[in-house]
Chain A
Amino acid sequence: MKTHPGIARILSTGSLLLAILVMAIPASAQQCLSMLEDKRFTLVVPYSPGGGYDGYARVFAAQFEALTGSVMRIRFLPGAGAMIGINAVAQADPSDLVLGLFNPTILLNNKIVGSDSPETSSLVLLGSLNTDTTAWIKKEDKQVLFDSSEPRLFAVPGNSDFTRVLLPGYALGWNINLIRGYTGSGEGLFAVLREDVDFFFSSSISMANQIQSLGGLTTFMTLTAGPDPIFPEAAYLAGAGGVVEQLTRELNVEQQRERQEIARLSVELAKSYRAISISSSVDSRLVDCLLAVVETTIFSNELQSVAAEQNLTLEPIDGTALKEEVDRAEALIESNWDLLQQLVARYQ
């Protein structure tokens, strides 16, 4: 068997790097290591193997194991819009040591549209491997007139179309028709290429790879409040110079305020995190320990280099900062609850 150039070198220096890594761990995390050693963890990924979360789960689990001396097994539990896996984490027995890797803003989307799902308070967010935004995609040679009232067809897979399509669509004042039933992001992109539909949406990071693979597609807008670093050429939804700001200049102040508020809300809700979480029923000492260890894991140089080798983007956020971001989005939902419910009622 041939080996990748450099692999042997990496393996031979692996123990040295690990030693340096362990030395760099803060004292509180050091104390946790003995608590987690030889424990058996399960990392639940509520999607099918091979998807966008798969690679992140593998590199995180390997690094977590190396750091703690524990065993972390990955279980893929797809189905019901990720709810089967998320429920498995939220309802897991505390002694089973079940972590989850999924996007917690799914729960916020479900809350708005009234779908059954666990409360965000039923989970403790331990940290996030990266934050992603949403990109809107079109065929390369198709012109997009932002101020047109023409009907536009959007391919929609899954169940997050309210926060990623309809809500920003309302902020833009667009006449959007959803074509529902696509079974995955690949199918949606295919539909755009075939011109069955006009647009499709997906997370920016995975979209960058898929656009390269497919060819003939481009991101024309991102659901951000400024230029997206992945697609700096694309228009952006909210903030100064954003599409909504430009489109609402002629409207009265009240209408401008409402549309721009919706745009800001869309940006917050369109963010997705590859977040590690655990049931809030777990013992608080273990939670504190995991917060420290997960933070050490996701910020480690070792994880960065392994992720880079596998073409995975890492932008870690610690548990406390992640919770603040999710809480902020939840507070925005609460303060705009009536308007959101009106919109949900309109589209249903």
Chain B
Amino acid sequence: MPYFEALGLGVAGVFSWPGILIPIAGTLLAMITSFLPGVGSTSLAALLLVLTINWDRESVLLLFGAITGGATFMGSITAILFNIPGGASSTPTLLDGYPLGKNGYARTAIACAATASAVGSILGVILLMVVLPLVRPFLLEFGPLERLLVGIWGLMTIISVPTGSPMKASLMAALGLVVAMFGVDPASGMPRWNFGSLSLSGGFGLVPVLVGVFTISELISWMRTVHLEKAIPNTAAPDDSTRKGIRSVFQHPGLVLRSSMIGSLVGMIPGVGGTVAGFVAYGQSVQTAKGDKTQFGKGDIRGLIAPEAAVDAKDGGSLLPALAFGLPGSEAGVMLLAVFAVHGIVPGLPMLQGQLQLTFLLVVALLFSNLLTSALGIAATPWLARLKNLRIDRLALPCMIVSILALLQLESRLLDVYTAIGFGLVGYFWRAHGWPRVPFVIAFVLGSLIETNLVLTSQLIEFGRIVPHERVASVVLFVMIFGSILWLRTKRTDSERSARAIGGDVVLGALTTLVAVVLALIAFNGGAAYSSYAKGLILLCVGLGMVIVGWNLTTLHRTDIALFHQPLRWASHLVPPSEQWVPITLMALLGIAIWITGVSMAIGLLASIWFFYRAKPTLFGRLRALAFGMLIGFGTFYFVNNVANLLLPDSMLASMLGI
């Protein structure tokens, strides 16, 4: 079928009546669910796959195109307002989006994010349509070596992330790479750092780690025993406006174009993913920015435009491996292939030739959804910005419960809840003591990609199947990485100058070193599952941890000599403010309570204790608090057993009592 005829049929299919209602409904559904932490478009797509089994294939493609496009931008709103990314791909938005909102520019930031998303998606789709006829040779260029280099290029983004201490950022990045290695060695398939747990053999999930490091750590800091706190100050800056946000995107056309191209191209590479696209785009925005760069990380609008444009531009590209080869290159691709299978659509060559109109139908639905989301986002900006006025101390508990239930919905694994709670507690202390969480998350996201492709590349080089300098794509990527390293050399001085020692760093550094030493001992006695890469990284963690401890001890020695003589005072550097003791203790106990009593009762207990603690000190107030807690427990029980029908293991108590 001729290219433009197929395009015309695709456009006509989306804008037909009542066909257009399908992408509208899909977009609205995706927008709503993407507000829930951990419930991404994949979960929604899996649900709709069942419900639409009897639909015709054009209608289903309209719906799934809309879902893929509709969820992306909405995750940015919670990132801007609450420092909580709605999904993994919204993480780069935290870097400058949240500081903008915090500085009184919530409207500007939301409108800017919506506009950048819309422009990015248009540019992404245009690029997709241009490369569609050439996509097979293009994708075949990206083998393990190229994917490894893309991963390393993404890792270079960490250099661009503003941080007070490059040393701590390096340690956090190394830790992220190590945590990504838990589970199984990709080469031997043997268990590695799984501590005998079958569940941990699958490694830590991306969503639980993100929910822990960002959402739960943030919610812990919201859960104060004193009543206060709005999300961010209610005092909007005088020049904060929707129009300013929209205009800012068009004032940086080069940045939008570059970021969109990066997003679209990185999104096309199978198995790399959109989160990487956002980080890479952020990195290039810092590196190529003209003028004042000091505001990056503190609320520079350019640091918001770049990831937003890239992340939406990648949506179309991420479907290409599924369309062109029938390969699931991304989560969206997995669901799309399931849709294809159920509805008898053959992906690959047929989608690029005889059924090209179906491909365009999907792509145009995706573009329509992206534009609709952004238009609704811009229209709703004044109301969305008002969300910052919510009483966050009251929002925290419901958000926590929704987060936990959303995690359980993913794969019914209690490990995911324990992971989120564990990383939530650790993340709280990282946040409180200025240990940058973003390098950890970037490295964690990229860790598996880097290690898997490093393993494959080294084997293929050994057998003479890859000659790096003969591959065009790898040479281009080498140049880009080299450019980033050169840029690092010019930046390093500034960063080191701005680095300051913090008291708590000694204790956090010592604890990190201790954990790393234990992992290193396991690795060096663990045999073939622990590659040189794994051993090298864990030793790097030990080394960096020791350097941080040593550096800070030197500083502390000058200012607080008594520390050496009173070891108990060491711990005092980590002690949180008194109003946070209760939530931190509750979160720590929640994991244990889930293990002993099961999810429903544990959540009921958590809610009861929390309400009881904050209730008016009257008998009625206390009783009401307990009743609320029990109601939440019963509600959770009903949801787990009757709505979600989760397949959870028995609690210890249930096993003992035989119930």
Q: Identify the A interface with B (CB < 8 A).
A: 1-5, 7, 11, 40, 42, 44, 48-50, 54-55, 58, 62, 73, 75-81, 83-84, 87-88, 92-93, 96, 98, 116, 151, 153, 158-159, 177, 179-184, 186-187, 189-191, 193-197, 209-210, 212-215, 309-311
Contact = CB atoms under 8 A, between A and B. Distances in A.
A274 B625 CA distance: 51
Given A78-B411, A93-B650, A179-B460, A87 B143 contact: no
A36 B86 CA distance: 41
Given A3-B54, A42-B645, A190-B270, A79 B325 contact: no
B19 A2 contact: yes
Contact of B452 (A81, A87, A181): A181
B198 A58 contact: no
Interface string B248-280: 000000000000000000000011000000000
Nearest to B203: A79
Given A77-B411, A196-B143, A181 B328 contact: no
A158 B350 CA distance: 29
Contacts of B321: 186
Nearest to B644: A73
Interface in B458-504: 459-460, 463, 465-466
A80 B21 CA distance: 42
Given A4-B54, A93-B650, A180 B189 contact: yes
A140 to B, nearest CB: 13
A153 B465 contact: yes
A215 B54 contact: no
A4 B56 contact: yes
Interface of B: 18-19, 21-22, 42, 46, 49-50, 53-59, 140, 143-144, 183-184, 186-189, 198-199, 201-203, 270-271, 321, 325-328, 334-335, 337-338, 341-344, 346-350, 411-413, 452-453, 455-456, 459-460, 463, 465-466, 645, 647, 650
A11 B459 contact: no
B412 A210 contact: no
Contact of B459 (A50, A58, A179): A179
A179 B462 CA distance: 11
A193 B466 CA distance: 14
B328 A184 contact: yes
Nearest to B344: A311
Given A80-B184, A87-B198, A186-B270, 5 more contacts: A4-B54, A180-B188, A187-B270, A194-B143, A213-B326
Contacts of B412: 75, 77
A183 B271 contact: yes
Nearest to B139: A190
B459 A209 contact: no
B77 to A, nearest CB: 27
Given A77-B411, A77-B412, A78-B411, A213 B452 contact: no
B140 A194 contact: yes
B477 to A, nearest CB: 16
A213 B466 CA distance: 26
B201 A84 contact: yes
B459 A180 contact: yes
22 contacts: A1-B19, A4-B55, A49-B46, A50-B335, A50-B337, A55-B338, A58-B342, A80-B202, A180-B188, A180-B455, A180-B459, A181-B452, A182-B456, A184-B328, A186-B270, A186-B325, A190-B140, A190-B325, A191-B143, A196-B144, A209-B346, A212-B348
B198 A75 contact: no
Contact of B201 (A40, A44, A83, A191): A83
Contacts of A196: 143-144, 456, 460, 465-466
Contacts of B350: 212-213
A294 B327 CA distance: 32
Contacts of A48: 334
A185 B466 CA distance: 21
Contacts of A58: 49-50, 53, 342
B465 A197 contact: yes
Contacts, number: 168
B335 A55 contact: no
Given A77-B411, A213-B325, A84 B346 contact: no
A341 B342 CA distance: 42
B341 A1 contact: no
B325 A214 contact: yes
Contacts of B186: 180-181, 183
A195 B465 contact: yes
B647 A42 contact: yes
A40, A79, A93, A181: which has the most chain B beta carbons within 10 Å? Answer: A181
A331 B198 CA distance: 28
A159 B349 CA distance: 30
B54 A7 contact: yes
A62 B342 CA distance: 13
Contacts of A5: 56
B348 A215 contact: yes
Contacts of A180: 186-189, 455, 459
A93 B598 CA distance: 15
A76 B350 CA distance: 29
A213 B55 contact: no
Contacts of B452: 181, 183
Contacts of A79: 199, 201-203, 411
B348 A181 contact: no
A16 to B, nearest CB: 17
Given A180-B188, A183-B271, A88 B326 contact: no
A89 to B, nearest CB: 10
B647 A96 contact: yes
B657 to A, nearest CB: 13
Contacts of A87: 198
A54 B455 CA distance: 30
A75 B648 CA distance: 11
Contacts of A186: 270, 321, 325-328
B59 A78 contact: no
Contact of A50 (B19, B270, B328, B349): B328
A73 B412 CA distance: 13
A55 B338 CA distance: 8
A196 B147 CA distance: 14
A189 B49 CA distance: 26
A85 to B, nearest CB: 9
Contacts of B59: 1-2
Contact of B344 (A3, A62, A96, A310): A310
A184 B56 CA distance: 29
A177 B187 CA distance: 13
B198 A80 contact: yes
A177 B463 contact: yes
B55 A1 contact: yes
A302 to B, nearest CB: 14
A7, A54, A98, A186: which has the most chain B beta carbons within 10 Å? Answer: A186
B271 A187 contact: yes
Closest 10 CB pairs of A and B: A213-B348, A79-B202, A213-B326, A50-B338, A80-B201, A186-B327, A50-B334, A4-B56, A181-B455, A181-B186
A177 to B, nearest CB: 7
A227 B135 CA distance: 36
A181 B198 CA distance: 20
Contact of A49 (B56, B199, B335, B455): B335
Nearest to A49: B46
B200 to A, nearest CB: 9
B338 to A, nearest CB: 4
A75 B647 contact: yes
B233 to A, nearest CB: 43
Contacts of B42: 49
Contacts of B46: 49, 76
Contacts of A75: 412, 647
A137 to B, nearest CB: 14
A96 B375 CA distance: 47
Nearest to B411: A77
Contact of B338 (A2, A49, A158, A197): A49
A83 B456 contact: no
